[in-house]
Each structure stands twice: as structure tokens, then as C-alpha cells.
Amino acid sequence: MDSLGLGRRLMVGLAVLTVTGLLAMISPQSAGAATGTGYCPGRKVRTLPFSAGSVWVFKGNGYVCAVTLAKKAGAARPMAVSVQARGSRPGVDKGRYRHHAGPVTVHAGHRCVRVRGSVGKASADSGWILC
């Protein structure tokens, strides 16, 4: 076997590894965004629906994360999401958004949490959950 053939095989192998690595880095994010679970780490444990949208709640490794999603994307409007572990101050994201507010993540450990979300004047409040 000559050195030219070996060099060519090494180049092809390197190209295949590079493309495989890039695909591995891109695919999980694309899949998460497509299914809607790319907002927060962990598993989705609750959905709090309300007239103008819903709040998705995720839990994993002692953390709770939430995001408020509008039913319809459109012009920027007031939106908010908050997550509060019992005995702590809430983590909040509020402002004028087109599609979603958040994500907001707090360390909850084994404590109960309260999740709130709003789009315009419509809102949802979980009360104390995940105790």
C-alpha cells in the first residue's frame, strides 16, 4: 500500500468524524425545539393551561424550571413567568414578548414550588405543587 492511499483514507476518516460530531451537536437542540421541550432541562411534569396560553413546568436534579407560552405568536405583549421554591424568593421573567416568557429555573430540592404565568391579563397559578 502506498502512502498516498493511506493519506487519502485518513482525510476521508477525519471528514466523516467531523461531520458526525457536528450532527451530534446540532441534532439534540433541533429535536428539543421541535418537540417544545428545548426550553428547560429535565422532564415536563405539569402543564398549566389558561385562556391566552399555558405554563410548562419541568423538574430535574433538584431544579424546577418553567416557561409561559402564548397560544398564538404575534405582536409583543406583556408576558411573565415565575417559579418560587417554598421559603425562597421567586425567580421571575417579565416583559414584552412575542411567543414566550422564560425559562426561569430555581433550585427547589425537595421543597414545594409555586409557578405563575401570564399573557396579557390572562394568567395561571399552580398553588404549591411538587411537594
Q: What is the pTM of this model?
A: 0.71
Query: How would you classify residue 25: left for phi > 0, otherwise alpha for psi between -120 and 50, otherwise beta?
Result: alpha
Banded model confidence at residue 38, pLDDT cuts 50, 70, 90: confident
For the chain, what are the domain ranges?
A: 1-35, 39-129
> Which grid coordinates belong to 3?
502512502
Fold type of domain 39-129: Immunoglobulin-like (2.60.40)
The pLDDT value recorded for residue 105 is 97
Give the closest residue to 69 by CA, choosing from 41, 29, 98: 98
For the chain, the average pLDDT equals 83
Residue 25: pLDDT above 70?
no
Banded model confidence at residue 78, pLDDT cuts 50, 70, 90: very high
Long-range contacts of 55-59, Cβ-Cβ distance < 8 Å, separation of 24 or more: 55/81, 55/115, 55/116, 55/117, 55/124, 55/126, 57/83, 57/115, 57/126, 57/129, 57/130, 59/108, 59/130
Banded model confidence at residue 11, pLDDT cuts 50, 70, 90: low
